Amino acid sequence: MNKDTLERLRETVLVPHGDPQLALYAKLIVGLLWLVHLPLGFLYGAPLPFYLLLGGMMLLDGVNLSLSRRSASRARELGAALAFLAGSALLFQKAYVGYFSWFFLLIFSFSCTFVLGLVDGTFINLLGFLWVMACLHGGLIPDPAALYGESFVLRFPFLYICILGVAYIIMFSIQRYWVDKAKRHLLLQQRIDAEKGKLSEMSLKVITAMYSALSSKIPEIDLHCQQTAELTQEMARRMGLDEATCRDGYYAGLLHEVGTVGLPDDVVLQRNITEEQYQLYKTYVERGCRIIQELQIVDRVAETVRYHRENYDGTGYLEGLQGEAIPLLSRILAVADFTDRHRRRGETDAQIAAALRERAGHEFDPQCVEVMCGMLTKGRKKEDAPCRTKR
């Protein structure tokens, strides 16, 4: 057997259970079998302990089914399987419903393979087989031949192994399917990610070209966006966000002014504009969001740009979102954008920090403000010389 075959066997056997629906159906079968034992108990005149066992197992199955539908837990599944094994083993040993008492232990072991998978199922089934041998040949049942018949005592261990062998062959095929499906999904996702990366790279090149043209109208806007992007990414990192989110924050900072493309010069360049011009100016965030979406850059980047002009107290635009209803990256970008614009007006980091704190809870998220103030207080890389105001 070559190395590839061994690796294929290993990954198939060890793969975690990947089909909760399969496990659910197997548990329903086990619960149904316990229910079927109720009329058998009446038929054989089973004693009270049998009905207590029956009720306890049905209750356990119901609770396990309910919990499994909410969340998966390997430890809980193993615990439930051990409890069911104990109940079915006791039923087998006591023969509460006569000759049929072996039937539940066999079907439970078969079903257990589909509930737990090959690795965990083997542990439970090995315990079940050892119990069978202890009962039939180890003295746990005083006279198994009188209880079940001489032929049964000789043949049942082999029948038990054969039935479990069928279950293992089926489960191995199922787990092989899970492995192959996961590999196909991973390969497909890698291809999709690669294509998205290429599209994003092409889109960013288009954006860069747009900014190059825009910077002839708005002095050094490309530098402002670059430094806002760096501030946004650094803030996201300090706030403990994952690397993918930090990267999206960088892209959002880089692209947050792209919506100014197409706005008239007198709207973009003048600081004192009319109310009508201001209403037109505010559309730049929606324009930017639309451009980013059309260029097929990550949706979170477009969302961040769209909402970075919302104020923490709900007085911003475009939708008047408030507090944590505003996406976190948008709240971060708003603080980073404010910081870089005021640096370019010649203000010191101390002045900017004071202005941010003054606006905390109103215009900006207080948590984001504190993170930025920490960056300003401790100092980042040497600041660029102040340049002209852009708006």
pLDDT greater at residue 338 or residue 40: 338
Segment 265-297, tens digit of pLDDT: 777 767 777 888 888 888 888 888 888 777 766
Both ends of the chain: CA-CA distance in Å? 72
Mean per-residue pLDDT of the chain: 86
State residue 332's pLDDT score.
97
State residue 380's pLDDT score.
47
Chosen domain end from 179, 202, 229: 179
Residue 245: give the domain boundaries: 215-378
State residue 73's pLDDT score.
84
Q: Based on the fold, state whether residues 264 and 313 are members of the same structural domain.
A: yes
State residue 258's pLDDT score.
83
Q: Based on the fold, state whether residues 145 and 97 are members of the same structural domain.
A: yes
Closest CA to 136 of 92, 170, 169: 92
Alpha-carbon span 363 to 313, nearest angstrom = 6
Q: Based on the fold, state whether residues 167 and 227 are members of the same structural domain.
A: no
State residue 194's pLDDT score.
83
Q: Based on the fold, state whether residues 12 and 92 are members of the same structural domain.
A: yes
Using CB atoms within 10 Å of the CB of residue 329, give its burial: 0 to 12 exposed, 13 to 18 middle, 19+ buried.
buried
State residue 124's pLDDT score.
93
Q: Based on the fold, state whether residues 247 and 305 are members of the same structural domain.
A: yes
Q: pLDDT band at residue 236, thresholds of 50, 70 and 90?
A: very high
Q: Based on the fold, state whether residues 114 and 259 are members of the same structural domain.
A: no
State residue 278's pLDDT score.
81
Closest CA to 307 of 365, 356, 372: 365
CATH of the domain at 371: 1.10.3210.10
Give the chain's domain count. 2
Segment 186-207, tens digit of pLDDT: 899 888 888 877 777 777 777 6
Q: pLDDT band at residue 70, thresholds of 50, 70 and 90?
A: confident
Q: pLDDT band at residue 1, thresholds of 50, 70 and 90?
A: low
Domain annotation covers residue 7: yes
Beta strands in the chain (DSSP E): none
Domain annotation covers residue 184: no
**H/E stretch holding 377:** helix 366-378
pLDDT greater at residue 20 or residue 127: 127
Domain annotation covers residue 285: yes
Q: Based on the fold, state whether residues 238 and 372 are members of the same structural domain.
A: yes
Q: Which of 170-174, 254-258, 291-295, 386-390 has the lowest mean pLDDT?
A: 386-390
Alpha-carbon span 27 to 35, nearest angstrom = 13
pLDDT at 325 over 90: yes
Q: Based on the fold, state whether residues 233 and 130 are members of the same structural domain.
A: no
Alpha-carbon span 108 to 83, nearest angstrom = 12
Domain annotation covers residue 196: no
State residue 268's pLDDT score.
73
pLDDT, mean of residues 347-375 = 94
pLDDT, mean of residues 214-220 = 74
Alpha-carbon span 329 to 294, nearest angstrom = 20
Q: For the chain, what percent of residues have pLDDT higher than 70?
A: 92
Domain annotation covers residue 384: no
pLDDT at 233 over 60: yes
pLDDT at 173 over 90: yes
Chosen domain end from 153, 179, 205: 179
State residue 282's pLDDT score.
83
Q: Based on the fold, state whether residues 175 and 236 are members of the same structural domain.
A: no
pLDDT, mean of residues 11-23 = 85
Q: Which of 65-69, 126-130, 231-235, 386-390 has the lowest mean pLDDT?
A: 386-390
CB 230 within 8 A of CB 280: no
pLDDT at 384 over 70: no
State residue 389's pLDDT score.
32
Domain annotation covers residue 389: no
State residue 298's pLDDT score.
66
Closest CA to 31 of 53, 57, 49: 57
* Residues in CB range of 334: below 8 A, 6 or more apart: 308, 309, 310, 363, 364, 365, 368
Q: Based on the fold, state whether residues 84 and 31 are members of the same structural domain.
A: yes
Domain annotation covers residue 248: yes
Domain annotation covers residue 186: no
Chosen domain end from 179, 194, 227: 179
Q: Based on the fold, state whether residues 14 and 148 are members of the same structural domain.
A: yes
Angle, helices 221-238 vs 150-214, to 10°: value is: 150
Tokens representing 117 are 């998978």
pLDDT greater at residue 208 or residue 329: 329
Q: pLDDT band at residue 386, thresholds of 50, 70 and 90?
A: very low
**Residue 49 burial (CB count, 10 A):** 11
Q: Based on the fold, state whether residues 355 and 243 are members of the same structural domain.
A: yes
Q: Which of 103-107, 114-118, 216-220 has the lowest mean pLDDT?
A: 216-220
Closest CA to 164 of 112, 95, 116: 112
